[in-house]
Structures are given as C-alpha cells and as structure tokens.
Amino acid sequence: MIAAVAVAETGMESQLLIAGIGGHTVGIRVGQVLQILEDRELGPVPRAPGAVVGVFNLRGRVVTAIDLRARLGLAPVAHDHRHTLVVVTAGTHLYALRVDGVAGLTDLPDSGMERLPSTIAPEWREIFLGLFRLGEHLVLVLDLERVLDFGPVPAQ
C-alpha cells in the first residue's frame, strides 16, 4: 500500500513527518518527503556503505534505501521486523529512509526548535538540525543532506 504525503511548509511553521527509530522520535521536513511505502524486497548494492541496504524501482526510477538505524549507529532489529520506507528527494535523486514506523504529521513553529544538548553523541550532532519538544517526546529533526552524505568513496 502506498500513502501519498501532501507537501506543506511555510516560513514560520514547518510540517514534520514524525517517525520512530530505535525508540527515538525523528522529524523529517515534509517538503523533502515524496511518499511512504511498506517494506519491500531490495536489490543489492555492491561495495556500498553499510547503511545502504539496497535499491528498488519506483515508477521507473531507482531508489536507494538507507537503513536509518545503521546510519545512527543503533542496533539492528530481527530480520522479520517490518519497516516503513520514507521516500525523500535530494536534488534529482530519490532515497528511502528505512524507519521502524511513521506516527503522522505535525506542524511546529520554527522558532520552537532548540539546539541539540551537548550530551548528544558527536556523530548524531552532525546529522540532526535541532529538536522540538512535543509533549513528553523530543523530536530530533534530520538534516537530510548530512544523513545522505557518506563521505568520499574509498579508492580500490
């Protein structure tokens, strides 16, 4: 089943897609989200970074799937665990962020985003823009560019 996501972002408020990953709540700016898909069979990508878990075809376009758990350095889950794929656009490329699940959409004022506390691991500080407090939960806002930046490809 495919669920389309409407794009809505203003200068004063951002709409975030709220996703769960390893017990953490992550926000992805809706302006970057194309679709939400159920988990699916992925083709292999030889010599790809560890967080790249495969590719699939979406209406004639190749989509690279990134395991957000691996990208964040979190422990993997059982192989029979069903994930959700959040398809995002980055330039002319499509990527799918594999998350544990999607909770929905929320509007949050840009002025409410806080800096990351110094207690967050340095590798996380590199891929999150900041955080919002949503009830009792902290929503870590992804910096999609940095999530997708795996650094230079090593020479063979």
Angstrom distance (rounded) from CA 130 to CA 143:
9
pLDDT at 4: 37
Angstrom distance (rounded) from CA 155 to CA 94:
25
pLDDT at 152: 63
Which residue intervals of the chain are DSSP H helices? 68-71, 122-125, 144-147
pLDDT at 12: 59
pLDDT at 110: 86
pLDDT at 153: 56
pLDDT at 10: 43
What Cα–Cα distance (Å) separates residue 103 from each residue in 24, 74, 121, 141, 153? 12, 20, 25, 14, 34
Record the pTM: 0.86
Residue 122: count other Cβ atoms within 10 Å of its Cβ: 7
Q: What is the mean pLDDT of each run of 10 residues along the chain (156 residues)?
A: 37 84 94 95 92 96 95 84 93 95 92 93 92 91 92 58
pLDDT at 155: 53
Q: What is the CATH number of domain 2-147?
A: 2.40.50.180
pLDDT at 3: 37
C-alpha neighbours within 13 Å on the C-beta side of residue 2? 6
| Nearest residue to 71 (alpha-carbon basis) of 58, 59, 88, 56 | 88
**Spans of all domains in the chain:** 2-147
The pair of three-digit structure tokens given for residue 135, joined into one six-digit string = 């009830």
